[in-house]
Amino acid sequence: MCGYTFRTGKKCAEETYQDSKYCIFHVDFPKDEDSEDFKRIRELKEAKVNEKIDRGDFNFEGAKLLEVNFPKDIEIEDFLNFQDAVIKKGVRFVGAKIGEDALFEGSQIGEDIFFVGAKIDGGVRFNKTEIGEEVVFERAEIDTFNDVMNELQQKYLHEIHDTIAHWKAK
């Protein structure tokens, strides 16, 4: 079984990938991005992500992925969990509806997080999150927007100000 342990203390129940310690979802990418190995692992990870989305499973905790582009206007009934996930590129939602909090604590996102036009009934949590580019909340509606302000690290504040400018202009 996969050696990944979630924040709840529960172990990941997936089979390990080949001779690694982790499942395809939690296993690291090989260093060489041009290798066949990298390509195969990327494809298997993408298939896994699609399978999870189809199943309505939005627990991406600890996932190691290239990028995630959620289908437009996707509806997520409860939490969206990207805690401790490592995403080489971006995580993008367009017009998504999220019933509870979107959790990004401890995650590393190489490029951007897009919540364009999203409607989030909870908050968005960014404690100890590393984001390579920006977080875009354009036309988004977030129920507890203060959580975003309080928890986002200082270094992203200028981007948040841009967002608020958009937000108030509506």
* Residue list 26-55, contact with Zn ion (CB under 5 A): 26
Instruction: Pick one of 10, 16, 23, 81: the residue that binds Zn ion (CB under 5 A).
Output: 23
Separation CA 122–CA 20 (nearest Å): 37
Rounded to the nearest whole angstrom, what is the least distance from the CB of residue 56 to Zn ion in the complex? 19
Site for Zn ion contains 4 (CB under 5 A)? yes
Instruction: Pick one of 6, 14, 30, 38: the residue that binds Zn ion (CB under 5 A).
Output: 14
Separation CA 122–CA 25 (nearest Å): 26
How many binding residues for Zn ion (CB under 5 A)? 6
Specify the stretch interacting with Zn ion by CB under 5 A; choose among 20-28, 76-84, 109-117, 137-145: 20-28
Separation CA 103–CA 127 (nearest Å): 9
CA distances for 1 relative to 5, 16, 73, angstroms: 11, 6, 34
Interface map 79-118 toward Zn ion (x if CB under 5 A): ----------------------------------------
**Which residue in 6, 1, 42, 46 sits closest to 22, CA to CA?**
1
Rounded to the nearest whole angstrom, what is the least distance from the CB of residue 130 to Zn ion in the complex? 21
b/e code 106-133 from CB counts within 10 Å (16+ = b): bbbbbbbbbbebbbbbbbbbbeebebee
Q: Which residue lies nearer to Zn ion by CB, 23 or 49?
A: 23
Q: Which residue lies nearer to Zn ion by CB, 40 or 161?
A: 40
**Residue written as token pair 């979802």:** 25
Separation CA 49–CA 155 (nearest Å): 30
Whether the CB-CB separation of 87 and 61 falls below 8 Å is answered with: no
Specify the stretch interacting with Zn ion by CB under 5 A; choose among 25-33, 64-72, 131-139, 147-155: 25-33
Q: Could you list the residues that contact Zn ion (CB under 5 A)?
A: 2, 4, 12, 14, 23, 26
